[in-house]
Structure 1
Amino acid sequence: MVHIQRSIQSRGMMTLFKGKKGVKSAALILAALTMAISGCSSGGKTNDPEQPSSTGTQTAKESDKPKEEPVELTISTPPFEKSFPPGFQDDPVMKEIEKKLNIKLNIIPANAVGDVNAKFAAQLASGDLPDISWIPSGELIAKVIAAKAALPMDDYLEKHAKHIVEEAPFRIEYSRKMLSKSTDGTTDGKVYIMATGGDSQSDPVEVQVAPYLRYDLWEKLGFPKLETMDDYLPVLKQMMELEPTNADGKKTYGVSAWFGDSWGDWPFSGGFGMFEGKSLVGNWGVYDMETKEITPYLTDPDSYFWKAVTWYNKAYRLGVLDPDSFTMKWDNYLEKANANRLFLGFAQWTIEGGRKAFQAAGTPEKDYFQMPAPNKLDKYIVSYSLPQGSYNFFISKNTKHPEKAVELLDFLISYEGTRLIANGVEGVHWDAVNGKPAYKKEVLDGLKNDADYKIKSGIYKYHNLARGWDIIDPKFNIPIYYMFQPEYVKERLSAAQKKGAEHFNVELPADLYMKKKVKYLDTSFTMDLPAYTEDASVKDEFTKIEANLLTYVRNNQIKIVGIKTEEQFEAQKAKFIEDVKKIGADKMMQWYKDAMAKKK
């Protein structure tokens, strides 16, 4: 699961510093690795570029034979697609990590925490932090720096993070430039934060974010027109009448949300923007990847934010929105989705568990399909390019094992670590056959038929700790998630996916999006966006405005969804816009536009 541009809180992560030297270095290294593979392979064997060197971190071959007791590290993490209890894990992938690094990892996933922001804030205040911590929202980064809670990694990089230095140097540059600022805007330019995730992650079968609808019920209803998001609302109502309860007799709903979670604004700031080829950027602006224009997110009554809030309000008034949406956390939402109590999801990672449950119950004819984009625009954000990463981690300055903590982050971001997390253990889950990776039959069967296979095997279980899925693996010169290979793509299609593709006259569901002219948002454009923190004349004022806007939006956007009449909704919408203007939203946007004009 990749939570693309997950929340207002993390919008600062979209800002990108792109150093030419770092990009060139990465390109040269990748080219050299690829040449080594293609030029030195013979007899069906592939030469692995990750060979021991005289300097750098401990090699995989050396670490296969730990001479000492494993070092125990605790790490807090983002939520994963599949929930699992916190603690030490014993699946084959985690055992392989222990074998290679001589580390036993105590994992605390956000799925198991509850209010992850509140817990993190308490840990930061007390100093009682894990060895490695995930920072759950963007505005907390400066607080970590101000608290001097993070270990500067600079002195450890050359010896203990050779993979990051050689394979992902831009993440180091970005960390120094963008993730080392304290709450007062000052920076010492050191590396305190390192991010996993990121890069682009496009699945050839399905795009990640789209309307995912119960295809079997849509077919029963006679394929009613679905050209706009409003068209979905009466269809969802009819689906609730067709199937009022799930297999366990529990009430079903047209759609739900996790508004009560720390990233509960994703239903507003994520999917609806991607449907229009737009993205939330700094200073509460909306960037149109086709026109390159930036418009207000909060005060424009026609922004995609207001389109999303309006749609959820209509769903609430029609009775198709799950009433628990207002307080529900992500884990609770996922529990309902996995139990097939919802008919519409806005991302592949919201319906995957339900799809597996239908298969396990022997009802594969019931399934979800990735529907066409709900607009007629020839643009859509299929994927973000995030070379800086997307999930920010830091090492506690109080850790007893700084070298091992750095080595773990290095391994997770490396090609080797990402390959392991994405595909499992070579020789156990897959083999190299004639110079190409091939999954074992029992793995393919398990992934297809067992809803819990990822948890048991470790394959993809820790996906948010790796780097990215369609980066090119230098070992085989193909996307590093081997399920993206043509021989596996069609095998992954369910009956509903095949029927839906035929209905829409495409080979694969994703073709409904991949054939659009504008589909990838390269976040490197944000390198040229101005930052008020660098303008001494407004920095203090705008810092307060930013904090006040964030508080107001969090407290009021969900309340508007629950308004019972259209007239009351319009009145509260007008009040909301007027209130954020008074706080200073338009003042920030005007400064932003003026600063942009000066750059031209």
Structure 2
Amino acid sequence: MKIKKLLSLSLVTAMLVGTLAGCGSTGTDQPAAAGGSDTAATTTSDAGGSSDSGSDAAAADTSGGSSGAMEIEVYDAAANYQGLQTGWFDKVVKDRFNIDLNIIAPQVAGDAIYQTRTSSGNLGDIVLLDAVDFSDCVKAGLIKDISADIANYPNLNAYMEQIKVYNEGLEGNNGEIYGIPTQMMNTSPTSYSQDVIYSSPLLRWDYYSELGCPDIKDLDGLVDVLAQMQDAHPTNADGDPCYAVSLWPDWDGNDNMLGIANVVQLTTWYGEKIKDSAILKADGKTFTPITDKNATYYKMLKFLNTLYRKGLVDPDSGTQDWNAACAKMSAGQVNLFWYSWQVGFWNSQERLDNGTAMIFVPVADQNYYADADAYYGSGRVFGIGSGVDDEKYKTILEFLDWYASPEGLEFEHVGIKDFTYTVGDDGKFTAINDNALMDNLPVPEEYGGAGYSDGNNQINEWIVSANSVNPNTGEPYAKDYWASWKASTQTQMKKEWQEKFGAEEPADWMQENGKLVISPNVTVPLTSDTADISVIRNQCNETLCDYSWQMIFVDDDATFDSMWDEMTDTLDGMGFQDLYEFDCAKWQPQIDAKNALQ
């Protein structure tokens, strides 16, 4: 979602930006829910909300809804869809609460909707925001104090330790509870429980095997492997062109970063982490500016340019949206994944069986950054709008408590009983129709009808992580950790992978080989942007993104480096050095808290 210049805004709007607009910065390190969720993120159907941006889109359509149902407006920083929830998840919610969820999505409508709705005094009935924006909205009186009632809701109360820690960090807090962190877990702040980290190179195993499973030493070696794959398989089974990567610009500038989102996530392959305009080095202590030619933003942008010069980048990259890119993933047109959630659009039991699934392949010179278990949450926060009436307030609390309950989490993370999973005599789950999301399988009318992906939970964020243990089964909600799933995926492909790399799972290989950089989970309040810093940040982000996209598509090193130097000079003229100093000071308390746990 590209951030628009704010220089033309009036003084009043500039003041609002300083107190309310934050910039999507959070107190933890998780990426966007669309990228950082525990299951594949939901897609936007053609019948969904508007894709318009700018101030005209700020007046989201809140009309419609089911006759007799209470409409709940959900202002949702994580959503990739705008409009009324439909399909099977709508039926689940309506059967229990008789409510319509009306999603208001700034990633669809554009940033102006945030300023418009906050200035009106009503952001939404349920509010889902990044942590800094949430703190600003608490200070502005837009979020309801739920202290007197939350203890009456047992599923929320089960995470009261984490909820209190977050709220105690809010400026001026005197014991009030306003926010409920997202994706909380019940392990510890330093644990790492996943088999696959959030970002790492994932390749099609059959294509890689055809090449003799070569050891890959560095990015140049990865480019060579990808080029050989594309030469051997220039199209998918339907004759559509295949590429190493297919990129999208929708997420640029979100989630504590400047620059192209796809590049930002690739920087973690070398142990570094983007913190707005600063890059946290692999030592976990030292900052360097994102414009540093010796750091990873430059390195990974150059990697994408190298792919382009070899004809390995989808030419639609930079202009297509996330939905178009995901459709290509589902169609087998993309040979390199780097988000763990992307496999949800390709891997299936059939493909695991026949060896055509995507799986981690190490690159020898890489050390992979991973956030520890999200014990205190992933950085986004749920709240209730301060303007709701008593009836709606009670209904919302009941809904949020259910949303954090085992039943709610089974719908959110597992799907529909007897459609996406079955329950055995021992109470354990077994996955079925594991292609329901990627192929948008038709859902029986008894469950709500329409396509599974179309009716998936459009909130696209969760109070409790899928990696938390389901008390009904004794196993995590995420199917990848079920005994039944592990048994079914112990395929010939997996055995070959284990024999090649000498480990049970990708994260095991990383840990056993000293290749995993785990960053502890902490919750630390972050400083909001001043009005001046907000203007500088937005200008710098737009400039960095524009130059970065152009540099991916240049034809030689000289042009690439000339444009980088020109971009750096332009950023400095916009006040980048002031922004960098601000961001280093902003993030230092979090870094100190993380290092205290190590």
TM-score (norm 2): 0.71
**Which of the residues 527, 547, 550 maps onto 2:541?**
550
The separation in 2 between residues aligned to 1:322 and 1:127, in whole angstroms, is 43
- How far apart, in 1, do the equivalents of 2:319 and 2:364 lie? 27
- 2:399 pairs, out of 401, 404, 408, with 408
For residues 479 and 554 of structure 1, the distance between their equivalents in structure 2, rounded to whole angstroms, comes to: 38
Q: What is the DSSP-based 3-state SS (H/G/I as helix, E as strand, rest coil) of the residue aligned with 1:302?
A: coil
Indicate the residue corresponding to 1:151 in structure 2: 144
Q: How far did 1:570 drift?
A: 0.8
How far apart, CA to CA, are the structure 1 residues paired with 2:249 and 2:560? 18
1:218 is displaced (CA, Å) by: 2.1
1:566 is displaced (CA, Å) by: 0.8
Question: 1:248, 1:496 → 2: CA distance?
Answer: 24
Q: CA deviation at 1:298?
A: 1.3
Whether the 8 Å CA contact 2:275–2:583 is kept in 1: the answer is no
Give distance in 1, aligned partners of 2:295 and 2:243.
27
**Contact between 1:298 and 1:580, CA under 8 Å: does it hold in 2?**
no
Q: Are 1:254 and 1:344, in contact at CA under 8 Å, matched by a contact in 2? A: yes
- Per the alignment, residue 580 of structure 1 pairs with 571
Deviation of the 1:174 alpha carbon: 1.4
Seen in structure 2, the aligned counterparts of structure 1 residues 207 and 590 have a Cα distance that, compared at 3 Å, is closer
How far apart are 1:336 and its partner, in Å? 1.3
Please say if residues 84 and 455 of structure 1, whose CA atoms lie closer than 8 Å, have aligned partners that are also in contact: no
Q: Distance in 2 between matches of 1:212 and 1:461?
A: 25
What amino acid sits opposite 1:322 in the alignment? D
Stretch moving more, 123-132 or 263-272: 123-132
* AA at the equivalent of 2:331: A
Partner of 2:262: 267
Distance 1:372 1:116, change over 3 A: farther
Distance in 1 of aligned mates of 2:219 and 2:373 = 23
Query: In the TM superposition, what whole-angstrom CA distance separates every residue of 1:460-506 from its partner, at most 9, and x where no partner exists?
Result: 94463341122244555543445413343131345533433333233
Over the aligned positions, Cα root-mean-square deviation in angstroms equals: 4.4
Distance 2:532 2:124 in 1: 34
Is it true that 1:446 corresponds to 2:446 in the alignment?
no
Q: 1:119 to 1:216 in 2, by over 3 A?
A: farther
Deviation at 1:168, TM superposition (A): 3.6
How far apart, CA to CA, are the structure 1 residues paired with 2:230 and 2:521? 43
CA distance in 2, matches of 1:154, 1:388: 19
Partner of 2:290: 298
TM value normalised by structure 1: 0.71
Measure, in 2, the Cα distance between the counterparts of 1:170 and 1:342: 39
Deviates more, 1:543-552 or 1:335-344: 543-552
Q: Residue type matched to 1:505 in 2?
A: G
In structure 1, what is the equivalent of residue 272 of structure 2? 278
Match of 1:14 among 28, 32, 36: 28
Which of structures 1 and 2 has the larger relative contact order (alpha carbons within 8 angstroms, sep 6+)? 2
1:283 and 1:450 mapped to 2: Cα distance? 35
**Inter-CA distance 425–321: structure 2 relative to 1 (3 Å threshold):** closer
Work out which of the residue numbers 235, 240, 261 in structure 1 matches 2:230: 240
Paired position in structure 1 for 2:342: 350
Asked whether the 8 Å contact 1:209–1:346 carries over to 2, the reply is yes
Q: Which residue in the other structure is 1:54 paired with?
A: none
Aligned to 2:380: 391
Q: Is 1:323 paired with 2:315?
A: yes
Structure 1 residues 189 and 313, CA, compared in 2 at 3 Å: closer, same or farther? farther
1:491 pairs with 2:488: yes
Q: Bigger shift: 326-335 or 507-516?
A: 507-516
CA distance in 2: counterparts of 1:116 and 1:312, whole angstroms: 27
Letter in 2 for 1:355: N
- Amino acid paired to 2:541: L
Q: Distance in 2 between matches of 1:483 and 1:566?
A: 42
Q: Secondary structure at the match of 1:73?
A: strand
Name the CA distance, whole Å, in 2 between partners of 1:97 and 1:260: 29
Aligned partner of residue 164 in structure 1, secondary structure: helix
CA contact (8 A) 2:307 2:313 kept: yes
| Change in CA separation of 1:594 and 1:13 when aligned onto 2, cut-off 3 Å | closer
**What's the CA shift string for 1:428-487, capped at 9, x where partnerless?**
9554755xx3125xxx33226885578847799446334112224455554344541334
- Structure 1 pair 305/76, CA: closer, same or farther in 2 (3 Å)? same
Displacement of 1:380 in angstroms is 3.9
Match of 1:504? 501
Q: SS at 2:72's partner residue?
A: strand
Give the distance between the partners of 1:96 and 1:546, measured in 2 at CA.
Answer: 41
Amino acid at match of 1:256: S
Q: How does 1:187-206 map to 2 (within 5 A)?
A: 191-199=177-185, 205-206=195-196
My pick for the range that moved more, 512-521 or 419-428, is 419-428
Distance in 2 of aligned mates of 1:255 and 1:373: 17
Report the counterpart of residue 310 of structure 1 in structure 2: 302
Q: CA deviation at 1:286?
A: 1.0
Conserved in 1, the CA contact under 8 Å of 2:72 and 2:99?
yes
One-letter identity of the residue aligned with 2:146: M
CA-CA distance at 1:589 after TM superposition: 4.8
Aligned to 1:21: none
CA distance in 2, matches of 1:124, 1:433: 51
Deviations along 1:381-420, one digit per CA (max 9) or x if unpaired, are: 2655351343333433444512212322233234553244
Q: Find the counterpart in structure 2 of residue 48 from structure 1.
A: none
Instruction: Tell me, in whole angstroms, the C-alpha distance in 2 between the residues paired with 1:234 and 1:144.
Output: 49
Label 1:195 to 1:477 Cα distance change in 2 as closer, same or farther (>3 A).
same
Q: How does 1:35-184 map to 2 (within 5 A)?
A: 71-75=70-74, 77=76, 87-91=84-88, 95-100=91-96, 102-106=97-101, 108=103, 114-121=108-115, 123-124=117-118, 130-135=124-129, 140-141=133-134, 144-145=137-138, 148-159=141-152, 161-175=153-167, 177-178=169-170
Q: CA deviation at 1:343?
A: 0.9
Amino acid at match of 1:464: E
Residues 532 and 408 (structure 1), Cα distance of their counterparts in 2 relative to 1, 3 Å cut: closer
The alpha-carbon deviation at position 581 of structure 1 amounts to 3.9
Alignment partners' CA distance in 2, 1:119 and 1:243: 44
- The Cα shift of 1:514 comes to 4.2
More helix by percentage: 1
Q: Distance in 2 between matches of 1:498 and 1:84?
A: 39
Matched length: 512
Q: Which sections of structure 1, spanning at least 5 residues, go unmatched?
A: 1-7, 17-68
CA distance in 1, matches of 2:521, 2:215: 38
Distance 1:445 1:576, change over 3 A: same
Query: Do 1:72 and 1:106's aligned partners in 2 also have CA atoms closer than 8 Å?
Result: yes
Q: Is the 8 A contact 2:162 2:375 kept in 1?
A: no
- The answer to whether the Cα contact below 8 Å between 1:545 and 1:584 also exists between their aligned partners in 2 is yes
User: SS where residue 446 of structure 1 aligns?
Assistant: coil
Partner of 1:53 in structure 2? none
Residue 221 of structure 2: SS of its match in structure 1? helix
Aligned to 2:564, what secondary structure does the other structure show?
A: helix
Mark the CA change 1:475 to 1:587 in structure 2 (over 3 Å): closer, same or farther: same
Counterparts in 2 of 1:349 and 1:561: CA distance versus 1, 3 Å: same
The one-letter code of the counterpart of 1:507 is E
Say if 1:317 and 1:109 are closer, same or farther in 2 by CA, change over 3 A. farther
SS in 2 for 1:239: helix
- Structure 2 match to 1:468: 465
Which residue of structure 1 aligns with residue 7 of structure 2?
Answer: none
Q: In structure 1, the residue corresponding to 2:334 is in which secondary structure?
A: coil
Alpha-carbon shift at residue 123 of structure 1 (Å): 4.8
Quick one: which amino acid aligns to residue 267 of structure 1?
N
Find the residue that maps to 1:349 and give its secondary structure: helix
State the Cα distance separating 1:302 from its structure 2 match. Answer: 1.6
Matched, 1:257 2:247: yes
Match of 1:20 in 2: none
Determine the structure 2 residue equivalent to 1:27.
Answer: none
Seen in structure 2, the aligned counterparts of structure 1 residues 286 and 450 have a Cα distance that, compared at 3 Å, is closer
One-letter code aligned to 2:559:
Q
Greater Cα offset, 296-305 or 470-479: 470-479
For the residues of structure 2 that align with 1:350 and 1:78, how far apart are their CA atoms?
20
